[in-house]
Structure 1
Amino acid sequence: MPDPSTYRPKPGEIPVDPGVYRFRDQHGRVIYVGKAKSLRPRLSSYFQDITALHPRTATMVTTAASVEWTVVRTEVEALALEYSWIKEFDPRFNVKYRDDKSYPFLAVTMGEEFPRAQVMRGAKRKGTRYFGPYGHAWAIRETLDLLLRVFPVRTCSSGVFRRAHASGRPCLLGYIDKCAAPCVGRVTPDEHRAIAEEFCEFMSGNTSRFVRRLEGRMREAAAELDFEQAARLRDDVAALTKALEKQTVVLGDATDADVFGIADDPLEAAVQVFHVRGGRIRGQRGWVVEKESEDLPTLVGHLLQQVYGDADTVPKEVLLPVLPEDDDAAREWLSGLRGSTVDLRVPQRGDKKTLMETVTRNAQQSLARHKVARAGDLTLRSRALQELQEALDLDEAPLRIECYDVSHVQGTNVVASMVVFEDGLPRKSEYRRFIVRGALGDPVDGPTTIDDTAAMREVLGRRFRRYLEEAEGAGDLDLQAADSDGRRDRDEVEHEPNGGPIDPETGRPRRFAYPPSLVVVDGGLPQVNAAQAVLDDLGIEEVALVGLAKRLEEVWVPGQDYPVILPRTSEGLYLLQRLRDEAHRFAITFHRQRRSKAMTSSALDGIPGLGPGRQKALLRHFGSVKRLREASVTDIMSVRGIGPALAETVSAHLAGATPEPAVNLTTGEVLE
């Protein structure tokens, strides 16, 4: 464990200017990012007596091996740089804001030719407009069903849209006038996009003009004695009014604001935010955050970065329980994102203070629910790591664990997976997939096969050779052995070895630059011994290794004749099972993708210069490979994008190719 005094900078070296600092561990990975009005006092505070620091801060400074800083001109620049570095490096010791539930959004895919309205969760996608979040998905569907009378935007999936377009018949919503049916040409793409834009404008809060427009058309229809049309317009007005009634008016002055409420205890804090647009609550969202030594103003500053760093819009007002530590800098940063002044303040009286109290009560209830749900979640994770440390006789708890699994069908289409858990939680950005090609460099997609033990040897060899290359900058290692057919897998190799775990061009960590504390392989003693032989050959001694056998959930350790038996109620065993199951899921998903691709391969694959686009053009023109094989060079040249040289290449390739026999993928038997 590094001693903070070994990398403590001299006080005179640290500037007093505002800036951003990064702590790195012994492998060069960024583990903490922070900002300061004055770097000297802030950094000096980390190097005081360890016993006086917050436990998590003490763990951070003893895990770190170096610290570096960047000086900026203003606090606003420091705020922006801190946010960008946290997003880029995802430091493990920075405060993590986790949604206390998965909130659904009403999304409109404006990036598509025919925009679609639908319920979406998860990460936001480029070119899609989002409204919400809502408390329940059924609330979105109910609101959408009301609004489709007035804004008949497409809601069907891509598959339904294509089938309707091919058959020339719209779906049910098209027949009942709740969809403009662009699939069958009732409206042009531009007309349908105009409908989608009006729908988005209504959802954004500009509602009054649509109600007034429909009421005006209703009166005109009644004056012309077209009572049937007037009745339809009356129902449309009623639908819009009902949709508006579902969104409670909380601020009478049509304010656009985000209202935050916070409830905290010594360990965690719950945050709730109400998104108010046009005086109405348009959405609600919540987070739960593990507190460190930060006080509430510091926590609020980080919260604003989390919420508005990637936000599409920033409201005119942001109402908070307390102002952030650098409120002027935060106000200037938010105003820059919005393009106009943002009012950042604590409400003192009136409707806004009442609403703040309501949001705070929601935060208190959220924290209470979370404390019940986590009733030992943090404790159980710590206990699991401690149990593994004691059962496997490790020097310290295994904070980073990697698990490997191999997937194949009777030795064909062999692939492997690597999943990573840090601090007992999955770190999916570190997951990797491997295509196992065998010792001779032949793809394992044909007659050549490979068993689990050989596959495990190859995968671990490739992974830890990459670790040695990237961590030590050893550019003369045997790259041919690391990838036996001379090619690099896109899923596992990103950069050439060039002097250490941090890529000098991007400044980001290399993909395999950090060793795990513990390696888990799916299997018993044969797989464990094979894996240990790889580590021994590479001279890696600091990595512990175990295998988890499925039959009796035995934990096998290299060099021991008998397994370690963990109690069925052991949290350590439960963590190993989660690792093994996650590795199996990740491997089998990749294997199914590979097998599906192999089953749909075409005789046109492998023809030089003939990519997927030209293959589709040929098949669309001739209808099948059989007809293409019978076509002349002149006929092939008639297809757009196919020149004389390529046409001759295609004709020669198909003339020399023999039809491939059908093969049973389970038994390997050739079918007649």
Structure 2
Amino acid sequence: MADPSSYRPQTGEIPTNPGVYRFRDPHGRVIYVGKAKNLRSRLNSYFANPAGLLPKTHAMVYAASSVEWTVVGSELESLQLEYTWIKEFKPRFNVVFRDDKTYPYLAVTMGEKLPRVQVMRGERRKGTRYFGPYTAGAIRETMDTLLRVFPVRSCSAGVLKRAQASGRPCLLGYIDKCSAPCVGRVTPEEHRALADDFCAFMGGEAKRFIARLEKEMGAAVAVLDYERAARLRDDITALRKVFERNAVVLAEDTDADVFALHEDELEAAVQVFHVRGGRVRGQRGWVVEKVEDFTTPDLVEHLLQQVYGEDAEVQGRLPREVLVPVEPSNAQDLAVWLAGIRGAKVDIRVPQRGDKAALMSTVRENAEHALRLHKTRRAGDLTVRSQALQELQEALELPVPLLRIECYDVSHVQGTNVVASMVVVEDGLPKKSDYRKFSITGAAATDDTAAMHDVLTRRFRHYLVDKTAQVEAAELVATPAVAAAGANGAAPGAAAPDDALSDTTTPAPRAKFAYPPNLVVVDGGKPQVNAAARALESLGIDDVYVVGLAKRLEEVWLPDSDFPVILPRSSQGLYMLQRIRDEAHRFAISFHRQKRGKAMTVSALDGVPGLGDSKRKALLAHFGSVKKIKAASAEELTAAKGVGPALAAAIVTHFSPGGEGGGSGDTVPAINMTTGEVLET
């Protein structure tokens, strides 16, 4: 690992012009490509204080051994050169958008002498027109339907050669789903015209072909050629079936790509809907790992740069409009670059209202689902889980394998309704039966560190109680009297014949906190970690390790450490810690909302004159429910603490049939004002 000061260029050597720079590793490989309006300012930011860089940038600077730059004439030129170099060198520290799954495309090999229609996946080829992506079932059905109208060749090269050699077409030629250019039924020019029509229909010109066929059908009916008219009718039905399969979502003259993304600290999922002629013609998705310090506008800029740079080479066409969730960085130059690729103006817009904003919301939902699905699949992989646990153990230098991890999070709103959560992961998988919730009151609710100390103290105090109970139970079973009872056929733990243990009962171990974790993770930085460590130390527990995960920079803190442990952004161990922390946060938030909702409960007792909060609680504690309070007489009510004859009479009057709380005799339940749920009966 190189020291950045060993290859730092002199400040006066770096120009102040716009340009593109490359960091190289000791082997000469390009590991990062970036662009800058001012090269000197940008490059100096890497070397001024390397220790203060974000973890991912820190790793890149120390992995490099040299830096070089190229001056360009404008920011637009820097955008173009940056894309070219990223595509050429594929630097490992640059954002790379990877397909979240392999999509099938309907492809037409226009570069061949006899174009072929086929379903294709993987890398794209030059000279081939692509349509989609589609789901596997839909693409087969679409292709099968269109071949009856546009009988383009769909056979492989081997089948084509055999047909040409034998002079007989394949089965598709006999059933009229291929025009059989292999045996000369149509000329290569006529077959290419069919392929052009196929591409034009898939490109959004469906109405033109349907109108043409309808006109031909009318002409056939006029000359009483009903057989041809019937064939044309079936062709029209087939084209309409394909055309109407995609719902109209925007105006029919709209050609646009609608992008949306959903991100967290480590990854982002991107989805795009391809809208042509107002209809959704395809959908595509990517998942990207954030190995750079990118804002959302930066992420959008690199997304458009990579997607359309690639598409331009293989398709040569872009939509008139690109809808994005936020305006990308360097938007004006990006629009100029895309316009140069398309050969016409490209509008990059952020929809605010109307149908386009509604469609953007739908695409965003797809992105959220894609990221959840990606995380779920990643967490469910046994190999990945094992790798993550191993990475964590090595990075934290722990002497024991991480079989059980517990994570704690505190949730509140400005110090009110303070709660905490405990989530459990065993062998890398959540164990929801062991999740626990904590209510925090008194002095512990004053700040997060005090709350964390209180929660850890309570949890591990229970563990010590459980541990003592188990030890006592084991010792009890091992006593001679119990052993003798077992030898005589009595059940273990039963009374001995001499009744020596007749007054002894076996303690029942508590299942809730019976098993200690190998690692405790707290949501927070150095203060929270130290508070958790003090709680364990005060209880004399020294075999449970503690770390904290600070959310802003995803730093891992150890107790009494001045510097955090920096895990690589692509680390499976960091990903597992983040997933556990997010689950603890979710569980704490849900409990906090539940508790806050109960605090907003309106009870049927609230309308009783002179009945305050303390006396209402005393009544509920004495009778157990509002229903029993309503049924009680005035004399019975006075048995509750603090309730005198006058107040008891007021309560009876309130719940009488003619009173405010009685109505027609129906009971008035307590209602949660947040959810509308009936809480008391």
Class of the TM-score when normalised by the shorter of the 2 chains:
0.5 to 0.7
Matched with 1:219 is 218
CA–CA separation in structure 2 for the residues paired with 1:161 and 1:384: 54
Give yes or no for contact 1:270–1:287 (8 Å, CA) kept in 2: yes
| AA matched with 2:90 | D
- Indicate conservation of the 8 Å contact 1:24/1:30, yes or no: yes
Task: Give 1:139 shift.
Answer: 1.1
> Is contact 1:116-1:154 (8 Å) kept?
yes
Distance (whole Å) between structure 2 residues aligned to residue 389 and residue 14 of structure 1: 38
Query: 1:108 is matched by which residue type in structure 2?
Result: V
Shift of 1:193: 0.7
Instruction: Give the Å deviation of 1:164.
Output: 2.0
**Structure 2 residue aligned with 1:103:** 103
Give the counterpart letter for 2:28 in structure 1.
G
For 1:41 and 1:381, the matched residues in 2 are separated by 40
After superposition, where does 1:536-615 map in structure 2 within 5 Å? Answer: none
Shift of 1:184: 1.4
Distance in 2 between the 1:194 and 1:97 partners? 36
Q: What is the SS of the residue equivalent to 1:374?
A: helix
> Structure 1's 383 and 14: CA in aligned 2 closer, same or farther, altered over 3 A?
farther
Aligned to 2:310: 310
Q: Which amino acid aligns with 2:277?
A: G
Deviating 4+ runs (over 4 angstroms): 376-391
* More divergent stretch after superposition (246-255 vs 104-113): 246-255
Which one of 366, 371, 376 corresponds to residue 372 of structure 1? 376
CA distance in 2 between partners of 1:324 and 1:38 (Å): 19
Mark the CA change 1:84 to 1:223 in structure 2 (over 3 Å): closer, same or farther. same
Evaluate the alpha carbon distance shift between residue 39 and residue 378 of structure 1 in structure 2; reply closer, same or farther with a 3 A threshold.
Answer: farther
The corresponding residue for 1:174 is 173
The aligned counterpart of 2:42 is 42
Q: Give the Å deviation of 1:380.
A: 5.4
User: Residue type matched to 2:12 in 1?
Assistant: G
Contact 2:19 / 2:75 at 8 angstroms: preserved in 1? yes
Contact 2:34 2:82 (8 Å CA) reproduced? yes
Match of 1:351 in 2: 355
Residues 378 and 25 (structure 1), Cα distance of their counterparts in 2 relative to 1, 3 Å cut = farther
Secondary structure in 1 matching 2:17: coil
Deviation at 1:227, TM superposition (A): 1.0
Compute the displacement of 1:73 (Å). 0.9
| 1:188/1:353 CA distance change after superposition, 3 Å | same
1:141-540 alignment to 2 at 5 Å? 141-291=140-290, 292-311=292-311, 312=315, 313-375=317-379
CA distance in 1, matches of 2:305, 2:40: 24
C-alpha deviation, 1:385, in angstroms: 7.3
What's the offset of the Cα at 1:15? 1.9
**What SS does structure 1 have at the residue aligned with 2:247?**
coil
- Tell me how far apart the structure 1 counterparts of residues 231 and 306 of structure 2 sit (CA, whole Å): 45
| Letter aligned with residue 118 of structure 1 | Q
* Residue 112 (structure 2) aligns with: 112
Contact 2:252 2:279 in 1 (8 A): no
Deviation by residue 1:316-361 (Cα, 9 ceiling, x = unmatched): 0000001111011101100111111100110111111111111010
Deviation of 1:43 after TM superposition, in Å, equals: 1.3
CA distance in 1, matches of 2:350, 2:16: 31
Match of 2:26 in 1: 26
Q: Distance in 1 between matches of 2:340 and 2:96?
A: 25
Deviation readout 1:211-250 (Å, 9 max, x if unpaired): 1110001001111111111111111100000000112211
Single out whichever of 369-378 and 324-333 deviates more from structure 2.
369-378
- Which whole-Å CA distance do the structure 2 matches of 1:173 and 1:67 have between them? 59
Partner of 1:125: 125
Distance in 1 (alpha carbons) for counterparts of 2:387 and 2:30 = 23
Q: Describe the SS at the equivalent of 1:369.
A: helix
In terms of mean alpha carbon deviation, does 32-41 or 98-107 score higher?
32-41
Using a 3 Å threshold, how does the CA distance of structure 1 residues 229 and 349 change in structure 2: closer, same or farther? same
2 CA distance for matches of 1:239 and 1:198?
A: 15
Give the whole-Å Cα distance in 2 for the aligned partners of 1:197 and 1:387: 60
Residue identity in the other structure for 1:343: D
- Secondary structure at the aligned position of 2:310 is classed as coil
Distance 2:352 2:201 in 1: 32
Q: Which residue of 2 aligns with 1:73?
A: 73
The one-letter amino acid of 1:370's match is H
Structure 1 residue 11, shift from structure 2 partner: 2.4
**d(CA) in 2 for partners of 1:262 and 1:358?**
11
Secondary structure, in 3 states, of the residue corresponding to 2:65?
A: strand
Using the size of structure 1 for normalisation, the TM-score is: 0.56
Match of 2:61 in 1: 61
Aligned-partner residue type, residue 194 of structure 2: I
The equivalent of 2:538 in structure 1 is: none
- Deviation of the 1:283 alpha carbon: 0.8
Conservation of the 8 A alpha-carbon contact between 2:95 and 2:289: yes
- TM-score of the pair, normalised by structure 2: 0.56
Distance 2:384 2:68 in 1: 31
Cα pair 1:254 1:280 within 8 Å, conserved: no
Q: Secondary structure, in 3 states, of the residue corresponding to 1:196? A: helix
What amino acid sits opposite 1:72 in the alignment?
Answer: V
8 Å Cα contact 2:269/2:286 also seen in 1: yes
Whether contact under 8 Å (1:21, 1:68) holds in the other structure is yes
CA distance in 2: counterparts of 1:114 and 1:387, whole angstroms? 59
Which residue pairs with 1:9 in the alignment?
9
Give the CA deviation at 1:9: 1.9
CA distance in 1, matches of 2:208, 2:396: 69
User: Could you tell me how far 1:51 is from its partner in structure 2?
Assistant: 3.7
Q: How big is the shift at 1:149? A: 1.5
Aligned residues: 392
* Paired amino acid for 2:30: V
In the TM superposition, residue 382 of structure 1 has moved relative to its aligned partner by 6.3
Q: Which residue of 1 aligns with 2:455?
A: none
1:257 and 1:317 in contact (8 A); partners too: yes
Aligned pair in 2 of structure 1 residues 383, 73: CA closer, same or farther (>3 Å)? farther
1:15-50 per-residue CA deviation (whole Å, 9 max, x = no partner) reads 221110000112221110001111122212212433
Query: Which residue in 1 is equivalent to 2:518?
Result: none
Aligned pair in 2 of structure 1 residues 242, 264: CA closer, same or farther (>3 Å)?
Answer: same
Quote the residue 1:594 is aligned against. Answer: none
* Residue type of the alignment partner of 1:324: P
Distance in 1, Cα, partners of 2:130 & 2:339: 21
Query: The residue matched to 2:219 in structure 1 has which SS?
Result: helix
Residues 386 and 29 (structure 1), Cα distance of their counterparts in 2 relative to 1, 3 Å cut: farther
Distance in 1 of aligned mates of 2:395 and 2:362: 46
Q: How far does residue 52 in structure 1 lie from its aligned partner after superposition?
A: 2.4
1:494 corresponding residue in structure 2:
none
CA deviations on 1:53-105 (whole Å, 9 max, x unpaired) are 22111110001111111111111100110011111111111112111000111
Distance 2:46 2:387 in 1: 27
The 8 Å contact of residues 161 and 183 in structure 1, kept in 2 or not, is answered as yes
> Partners in 1 of 2:363 and 2:67 — Cα distance?
39
Distance 2:148 2:29 in 1: 54
Go from structure 1 to structure 2 and tell me whether the alpha carbon gap of 1:382 and 1:69 turns closer, same or farther (over 3 Å shift).
farther
Cα gap change, 1:379 to 1:62, in 2 (>3 Å)? farther
- Structure-1 separation of matches of 2:391 and 2:371: 26
Cα separation, 2, equivalents of 1:236 and 1:210: 10
Q: Following TM superposition, by how much is the alpha carbon of 1:388 offset from its aligned partner in structure 2, in angstroms?
A: 10
State how far apart, in whole Å, the 2-side matches of 1:351 and 1:267 are.
32
8 Å CA contact 2:151–2:178 kept in 1: the answer is yes
Query: Contact 2:107/2:131 (CA < 8 Å) preserved in 1?
Result: yes
Measured in 2, the distance between the counterparts of 1:206 and 1:176 equals: 26
Q: How far apart are the structure 2 equivalents of 1:110 and 1:150?
A: 18
1:225 maps to amino acid: L
Change (3 A) 1:52 1:380: farther
| 1:106–1:119 contact (8 Å) kept in structure 2 | yes
Shift of 1:159: 1.6
